[in-house]
Amino acid sequence: MKYFTTTKKGSAVSFFDAVLSNMASDGSLFMPEFAPVLSSGFFQSLPKLSFHEMTFEVLWPFVKESFSKNTLAEVVEKAFTFDAPLVTLTNDLYVLELFHGPTAAFKDFGVRFLAQVLLQLQQYQEKELTILTATSGDTGGAVADAFFNMPGIQAFILYPKEKVSALQELQIASLGGNIHALEVDGSFDDCQRLVKWAFHDPEIKAKRNLSSANSINIARLLPQSCYYLRGWAQLNNPNATPSFSVPSGNFGNVTAGLLAKEMGLPCSGFMAATNSNDTVPRYMRSGVYAPAPLRETISNAMDITDPSNFVRAQTLAHNDLSQLKETLTSIAFSEEETRTAIHEVYSRYEYIVDPHTAISYLGAKTLKSLPRICLSTAHPIKFAPTIEMILERSIEPPQQVKDLFNKRKITRRIKPTQVLVKEVLLG
Ligand SMILES: *Cc1c(COP(=O)(O)O)cnc(C)c1O
């Protein structure tokens, strides 16, 4: 498998090169040159396969020029230490829980796979690898956990002071060792700006072999296609063609679903449900792509106005809007609707959803084709203050975050200046 970029300029590269360069020099994103179609035998055996066996089969064609079978088996075993269970709300409405990883959000699937891939590739590199990432919350925790104690790798995570939850901060900043948490006295945009600048600074580049762990890396996208297949398999009905609702911010998750469909996933379509940051829903209606100013919402991991992975979804539909509309619909939901949905799911099904999953549920309700599967991207504990206020009850922390509350943070506070970032990185 070779990887092209979304602009189709330049020559195709290997998986190895696509992962290490993160994106092409013109800023476009890597995509596999085709979607390898899974056999009918694979789908027959799918309900019996373990998560590791399934991810191995699905991912093998994408990496076989860069890895041996043993290496991929090791990568998926170490990356996916958790599963994606399907929970029944009614006999035509299901929740695919993607939050059973160590940081209680679905980002663990993509980030942990990327980390294991980089660890393998690092064996062929002489220089130590430095992961440099800006986070608004969930990515930082997943990066810290996934890269912790990896030999030959250091990770620097910039997060905005007081803009991430206490739980998210402990996930980023309580590990220490090779994980360096930088609490930036500024906004998420400041963090992103500093990271972008550092990637281009000649002195930093001379000293450090920099890589990013953000969602435009192809190694974060590919493993996400797997859990759609896992969701389908758990319906235990070989004739089922479910529709999927996906709470969308940067549109990586839903793009992985579209890719799974190209690989043969039986499904009748996708709903990309957004919060009031509605660039894509407006685009799908009008054909005009016009990002509006950012709106802060309670589903803050989706507060994105110019989703970087949407171009990949367009590439899969050959840049033809009407073709895209055949498989994808997109609707925006307000804060009021989100809060009401959290209530509704709890009172109807005694099930607690976080604000992102609430939007997923709202999207699922609009789908005509049954059964419907809504993807749940975070455990409600990650947004406990909001949910506890709305439902007027407390939330039981799951095992993987219980211990965190006894830890203390090890962080370095910096003002958002290039000089200070340079000092830390050259330090
Ligand atoms: C990142 C995130 C999303 C958005 O996913 P995309 O792939 O960027 O569309 C949704 N929900 C949660 C909880 C997230 O952390």
Tell me the pLDDT tens digit for each residue of 352-377.
999 999 999 999 999 999 999 999 99
Three-state secondary-structure class, residue 338: helix
Asked if 194 and 182 touch (Cβ cutoff 8 Å), the reply is no
Name the closest-CA residue to atom 2, ligand 1.
301
Residue 334: is its pLDDT beyond 90? yes
Query: How is residue 381 annotated by DSSP?
Result: G
Ligand 1 centroid to Cα of residue 377, in Å, is: 7
Distance 7 CA to ligand 1 centre (A): 25
Take atom 14 of ligand 1 and give the residue whose Cα is closest: 301
Percent composition of the chain: helix, strand, coil (DSSP 3-state, to 5): 45, 15, 35
Report the SS3 class of residue 265.
Answer: coil
Q: Is the pLDDT of residue 72 over 90?
A: yes
Q: How far is 314 from 274, CA to CA, in rounded Å?
A: 17
Residues 375-405 have pLDDT tens digits of: 999 999 999 999 999 999 999 999 888 888 8
Quote the tokens at residue 242. 């479910």
CA distances from 362 to 271, 283, 348 (A): 10, 20, 14
DSSP classification of residue 294: P
Q: At what angle do helices 218-233 and 51-63 cross, to 10 degrees?
A: 140
The pLDDT of residue 23 is: 83
The answer to whether the peptide bond before residue 291 is cis (omega within 30 degrees of 0) is no
Q: Starting at the edge strand that comes first in sequence, how are the strands of the sheet with 328-332 ordered? A: 86-90, 93-97, 372-376, 243-247, 269-274, 328-332
Distances in Å between the Cα of 150 and the Cα atoms of 124, 146, 179, 248, 261 are: 15, 8, 10, 31, 34
Q: Is the CB of residue 255 below 6 angstroms from any atom belonging to ligand 1? A: no
The angle formed by the CA atoms of residues 341, 353 and 191, to the nearest 5 degrees, is 105
pLDDT tens for residues 211-262? 989 888 999 999 999 999 999 999 999 999 999 999 999 999 999 999 999 9
pLDDT-derived band at 156, boundaries 50, 70, 90: very high
Summary mean pLDDT of the chain: 95
pLDDT band, very low/low/confident/very high, at 163 (cuts 50, 70, 90):
confident
Expressed in angstroms and rounded, the spacing between residue 161 Cα and the centre of ligand 1 is 21
pLDDT of residue 138 exceeding 90, the answer is no
Tokens 């003002």, residue? 415
What pTM was estimated for this model as a whole?
Answer: 0.96
